[in-house]
């Protein structure tokens, strides 16, 4: 076989390429590649040899349909360095394993492309996908066709199923707790660029307006170090701030470091509250007050929803395929 030209992308061989090279039907290739009866042994060997030469590998999904293989679920994760996502992934794997499912994971947050790229990589190998897909939920569902996609943090409902979170409830819960402790100068640290509020940020600003709370909003990349720099800048500009609600617990760790660097005691001079409830919170000093999700419940809800979609007991896009979970206020030392 001739080698591809330099710089030209190599086209992945398909079942039709193998069928054309062998001079047989697509069905014969399927039988040969899956060791099914009904074809001659020499035909089977010839097809398998041509498939190897062409670099053809049957998709996991197609093989599952033919062989009755165990359900294989793709899990698209944006950043395994954020402790929230390993905890969530562990829950999904645990709940899927109890059902006898396989889980194939793709972490797309480190220069390997978008969530849609992750779904494209997973697609040949899985029967369904669970993931945090951001703005690509509809495209991911279109890519998988009739195979269900369960999207986390998906209020728009453009995939087969979605798990969303009641940020309005969480925001009010957090702000009422801070204001009730006589914190009169509150700030919220959001994730992302200053020109764009996250869904959490929008919920917090609405709740503050409803409660008559004057709120300063700051922004940072979703990391502890970026949050530390943002809170240091906030404290320099507005030293009277005495309560900070933070986008997530990882960023709250950065906020605690910033307050320590400014000689501010927590919670004496300034209270700090995170969101998500990752295990890291109890290892911080002081221990972090947070708006907590039970991550085992999140993983269980996603897997149970997917099971219903796969068995047909839940219709894709129906009201039953949309579930909303709520945070719980866990009061520790920081607020």
If asked whether residues 172 and 288 sit together in one domain, one would say yes
For residue 334, is it within any domain? no
pLDDT at position 158 = 84
Q: What total of structural domains would you count in the chain?
A: 3
For residue 30, is it within any domain? yes
Tell me, what CATH number does 266's domain have? 3.40.50.2300
If asked whether residues 20 and 115 sit together in one domain, one would say no
If asked whether residues 281 and 322 sit together in one domain, one would say no
Digitized pLDDT (tens) for each residue of the chain, 335 residues in all: 443 333 333 355 778 888 899 999 877 887 788 777 778 899 999 998 988 888 776 655 455 544 455 789 999 999 888 899 999 999 999 999 999 999 999 998 776 578 889 998 998 889 999 999 988 999 999 988 889 999 999 877 789 999 999 999 999 999 999 999 889 899 999 998 888 899 999 999 999 999 999 999 999 999 999 999 999 999 999 999 999 999 999 999 999 999 999 999 999 999 999 999 999 899 999 999 999 999 999 999 999 999 999 999 999 999 999 999 999 999 999 99
For residue 267, is it within any domain? yes
Tell me the β-bridge partners of 131. Answer: 76, 151
3-state secondary structure (DSSP) of residue 201: helix
Tell me, what CATH number does 22's domain have? 1.10.260.40
Q: Model pTM?
A: 0.77
What is the bridge-based pairing of β-strands 289-292 and 128-131?
unpaired
Task: Map tokens 């600003």 to a residue.
Answer: 205
If asked whether residues 133 and 199 sit together in one domain, one would say no
**CA nearest to 27, candidates 15, 43, 13, 45:** 15
If asked whether residues 76 and 143 sit together in one domain, one would say yes
Please, how many CA atoms are within 13 Å of residue 30, restricted to the half-sphere of its CB?
A: 12
For residue 4, is it within any domain? no
Structure letter (DSSP) for residue 287: P
């Amino acid at each position: 076989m001739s080698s591809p030209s330099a710089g030209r992308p190599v086209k992945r061989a398909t079942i039709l390429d193998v069928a054309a090279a062998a001079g047989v039907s697509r069905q014969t290739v399927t039988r040969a590649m899956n060791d099914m009866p009904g074809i001659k042994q020499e035909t089977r060997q010839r097809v398998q040899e041509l498939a190897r030469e062409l670099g053809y590998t049957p998709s996991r999904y197609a093989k599952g349909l033919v062989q009755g293989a165990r359900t294989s679920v793709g899990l698209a994760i944006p950043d395994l360095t954020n402790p929230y996502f390993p905890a969530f992934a562990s829950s999904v794997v645990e709940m899927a394993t109890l059902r006898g499912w396989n889980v194939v994971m793709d972490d797309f947050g480190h220069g390997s492309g978008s969530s849609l790229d992750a779904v494209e990589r997973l697609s040949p190998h899985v029967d369904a996908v669970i993931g945090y897909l951001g703005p690509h939920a509809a495209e991911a569902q279109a890519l998988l066709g009739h195979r269900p996609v369960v999207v986390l943090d998906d209020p728009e409902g453009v995939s087969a199923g979605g798990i969303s979170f009641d940020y309005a409830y969480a925001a009010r819960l957090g702000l009422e707790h801070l204001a009730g402790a006589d914190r009169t100068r509150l700030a919220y640290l959001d994730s992302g660029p200053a020109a764009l509020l996250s869904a959490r940020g929008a919920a917090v600003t609405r709740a503050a307006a409803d409660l008559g709370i004057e709120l300063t909003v700051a922004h940072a990349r979703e990391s502890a170090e970026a949050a530390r720099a943002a809170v240091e800048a906030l404290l320099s500009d507005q030293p009277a701030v005495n309560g900070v609600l933070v986008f997530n617990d990882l960023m709250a760790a950065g906020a605690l470091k910033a307050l320590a660097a400014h000689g501010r005691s927590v919670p004496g001079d300034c209270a700090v509250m995170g969101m998500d409830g990752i295990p890291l919170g109890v290892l911080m000093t002081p221990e972090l007050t947070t708006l907590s999700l039970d991550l085992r419940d999140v993983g269980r809800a996603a897997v149970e929803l997917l099971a219903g979609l796969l068995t047909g007991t839940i219709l894709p896009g129906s009201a039953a395929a949309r579930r909303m979970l709520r945070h719980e206020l866990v009061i520790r030392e920081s607020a």
